[in-house]
Amino acid sequence: MDAVIVKDLVKRFGKFEALKGISFTVEEGEIFGLIGPNGAGKTTTFRIIATLLLPTAGEVKVLGKDVVREAAKVRKLISYLPEDAGAYRNISGYEYLKMVAEIYFGKSKQAEEALELGIKLASLGDQLYKKMKTYSKGMKRRVQVARALMVMPKVAILDEPTVGLDVVFANEVRKMIKDFSKEHGTTVLLSSHNMLEVEGLCDRVALIHEGRILIEGYVSELIKGFGVKNLEELFLMLVKGEGS
Amino acid sequence: MKPLIIKEFKDLVRDPRIWIPFIISAIILPVMALVIAYPAKSAFYAAIYEYIDLGFINYDQGDEGTKLINYLKSLRKEVRINLVLLNVSHNESIPLNDIKFINKVLDYLRENNLTSLDAVLVIPPDFTAKVLAKQQVTLVAINLIRELGFFGSVSLKGLRVSTIINDYLGKKYLEGTKVALEVVKNPVVPLSVSYLQNKDLVIFGDPSTVLTSISFTAFFIPIIIMIISVTVIQMSATSMAVENEEKTLETLLTFPISRSKILFSKLFGSFLVSLLGSSLNIFGFLLYIRIYSTVFESIIPEQERSSEFAFFKFTTFMISPTDLAYVLISIVLMLFFMASLGIVIGALSSDVRIASTLTGPITMFVFVPGYLIAFTDINKFDPIIKNILFSIPITQPMALIKTSIISNLSPYETSIYLVTSFFISIVLIVITAKIFSLETLSRLQRALSRLRRK
């Protein structure tokens, strides 16, 4: 079964058309990358899949559930990590993770297990019990990634999961996502500007530019098919070609 | 919903920025009371107990002027007056209230180092003639003001002197008759009794006593509610707008929890914290009133104390405990409504700045109906409008207070009013939840930026 189906998706903000009829599918259990330059429409697409925005036209389904008509059901299947997700200043990372676990599972054994997993994924040690206003950007991002994964979503939508992180932190987060998806069979839909990251992490990618999908396919096949060295070269070739 | 309420409560209650305004207002009000009350006290004290240094210029062509001066001299200690006789020459063609004459007196004072006097009284040439004819006499008083304060002691000192002279002449005019001065001054002694029909209550005093109590309650209660409401609305609006600004809302809206639950948890969490904070406001305000009453009660003789200082006590006496409970519930419900309004404003504001800009005018707008109720007769309204005024949260507390002072509240009707008030807040949140989404927010933000461009 396809985890995410996006079909002829259009999104207009007033007169501006952010998405011009894009279509792609994400298979269950795979890590799918949506790549593209700034303003291409990645975040808008993610927000629609995460039930935050309504499509102007087209259809989006998550594990067979329509994001408009069955938004509440979709929310139970997904977890979403926004690109610039903030943190509550005066509660600790632990309290935040506990709150999320209880929202998803109530006061249950499942919530305790989720919290335990969250603590493990965040790997902040004693810092996790300090107020989040004392955290660095990287620490906040770790808590957010842990929060998104610990609830064992069927589909994790991660918008720029390693944005603003240093090399070491970014590498750890990438490893965390890959291992988690492999271990739990979680479908991951992510976006990134880092082509190296996408190449190493994603099974398949779709390249979006100015609201249109330019290509979609397995990373290795795309590199081979276009005769380029890597994804970055392909990206530049397609985006510049499209722009000229 | 519980985890979200706990999160909201903890996030707010641990924020020192939240407590600073509460603590400041709890301190600033008593300090204000001290700053105003103590200068007032010293001015009153000076007016009542300090010696008056009074200069006299006697142009009287008979002996009544001298008699008056001697009378004042005999009372020197009793009425605390120091008399200084001044010798200022006078051209009879210049009236005593002419600026030329006044300047002459002032020059005399300066030349003789007498500028420390409080006032100079000028006895006119026709003083004896008028006293013998039992006519009104004109005394020119030149008050020497050295400082300007809200509570000027000079005018009160002057009042003391004029009362003594009035009484002296009054008694003189009544000599040979059996009429006492007090009788002429106050021929009628009102012994008013007020009967509150709806309460079947007799109050010894004229209706103005009741009215004073009501008007002071009408004045102060909205102020108290306003102080608290501003805090409540701002806190809830800020806490909601922060979710937008800090981008935590985007995550929150993807959780498997309904929009209305998100809004209600924000509402309950911030309402709880704002109630805690407001208790500091109320403490400060009560201390403010207490300082005032203590300071004034200590200098004003008991029989002269105004009922204004006892209005709280009086109002409490007028309102039965059950009615007071209704009023308090109604005030809490109004605050709940303000918190709901804050949540709506915050939810629809993309950042804290916009939320703050909106809360100010909205708070003022909310208070106008409250004051309208305070100063109008609700019973003159059409029954439908009257019921609406008793039901909507912003007018209900004042309407209930006014009614409970002059009659007893009907438990049946009041309960319906209170429940309606509560549901108005709930409906407000539910409606907001229906339109509350990132979609609405981005639409509003676009509309706002279009407006800015224009």
Partners of A85 on chain B (C-beta within 8 Å) are 247-248, 250-251
For residue range B94-112, list pLDDT tens digits in order. Answer: 888 888 888 888 999 899 8
- CA dihedral sign, ordered B367, B369, B372, B377: negative
- CA dihedral sign, ordered A55, A56, A60, A66: positive
- Is the pLDDT at B150 greater than 60? The verdict is no
DSSP letter, residue A202: -
Which range in B123-127, B139-143, B181-185, B369-373 is most confidently predicted, on average pLDDT? Answer: B123-127
Does A32 touch chain B if contact means CB atoms closer than 8 Å? no
- Is the pLDDT at A115 greater than 90? The verdict is yes
List the end-to-end C-alpha distance of chain B, in Å, as a whole number.
42
- Token look-up 């180092």 returns B113
Q: Which among B14, B255, B442 is the nearest to A103, CB-wise?
A: B255
Alpha helices, DSSP H, located in B300-437:
311-318, 321-347, 352-375, 383-391, 396-406, 411-435
pLDDT above 70 covers a percentage of chain B that reads 83
Top pLDDT among B372 and B102 is at B102
Cβ contact (<8 Å) for A52 and B437? yes
Q: Which among B10, B247, B250 is the nearest to A91, CB-wise?
A: B10
- CA distances, B366 to each of B210, B222, B236 (Å): 27, 11, 16
Looking at CA atoms only, how far is residue A148 from chain B in angstroms? Answer: 9
Evaluate whether A177 touches A144 at the Cβ level (below 8 Å): no
- Identify the weakest region by mean pLDDT among B295-309, B365-379, B381-395, B402-416: B295-309
- Is the pLDDT at A26 greater than 70? The verdict is yes
d(CA B249, CA B242): 9
- Report which secondary-structure segment, H or E, holds B121: strand B119-123
Closest to A158 (Cα-Cα) out of A67, A41, A79 = A79
The predicted structure's pLDDT at residue B317: 52
To the question of pTM greater than 0.90 for the whole model, the response is: no
What mean pLDDT is predicted for residues B76-95?
81
Q: Which among A76, A88, A90 is the nearest to B256, CB-wise?
A: A76
Coil vs helix vs strand at B152: coil
The predicted structure's pLDDT at residue B418: 93
Evaluate whether B66 touches B60 at the Cβ level (below 8 Å): yes
Residue A102's pLDDT band (cuts 50, 70, 90): very high
- Identify the weakest region by mean pLDDT among A45-54, B2-11, B68-77, B139-148: B139-148
For residue range B280-333, list pLDDT tens digits in order. Answer: 877 887 787 777 777 766 665 555 554 444 444 444 456 677 888 888 888 888
Cβ contact (<8 Å) for B246 and A75? no
Which range in B123-127, B143-147, B178-182, B233-237 is most confidently predicted, on average pLDDT? Answer: B123-127
What mean pLDDT is predicted for residues B6-28?
80
